[in-house]
Amino acid sequence: MSVSETYRDIYRVVSQIPRGRVATYGQVARLAGRPGQARLVGYALSALNDRSVPWQRVVNARGEISLRSGGSQGECEQRLRLESEGVEFAPDGRIPLERHLWRPDGDGVRQQTL
């Protein structure tokens, strides 16, 4: 394999993010069994080369899109993809985590209660 089990675990968690919802790096890290190590998630996604993984649903703690080193059109593409999935963006370009933050435990029980 090209990736370690840690990466694979991270990808697995990211793949479990439901459509129309987003998760923070820290959250994914915690679910992946690496609490407090959001950097690894970001780094794992940076090394990610698989379109099967919805990496676009992973945002930073502020609900903004973290763009990669050097900067690229990935940011715009990510936003478009999320909007296409039903994720709303605030005027300031942020995502209301209160509404779209993924709740693994809730499992879509109370998230839709706007």
> Using CB under 7 A as the criterion, which residues of the chain lie in contact with DNA when the complex forms?
3-4, 6-7, 24-26, 34, 36-43, 45-48, 55, 58, 60-62, 66-70, 74, 78
Per-residue b or e along 31-58, where b marks 16 or more CB atoms closer than 10 Å to that residue's CB: bbebeebbebbbebbeebeeeebbbbbb
Q: Find the shortest distance in angstroms from Cβ 94 to DNA.
A: 11
Name which of 58, 68, 67 is nearest 95 in CA terms: 58
3-state secondary structure (DSSP) of residue 50: coil
Polymer length of the chain:
114
Please, which residue, 21 or 112, has the CB nearer to DNA? 21
Q: Find the shortest distance in angstroms from Cβ 28 to DNA.
A: 9
Q: Find the shortest distance in angstroms from Cβ 14 to DNA.
A: 10
Please, which residue, 52 or 113, has the CB nearer to DNA? 52
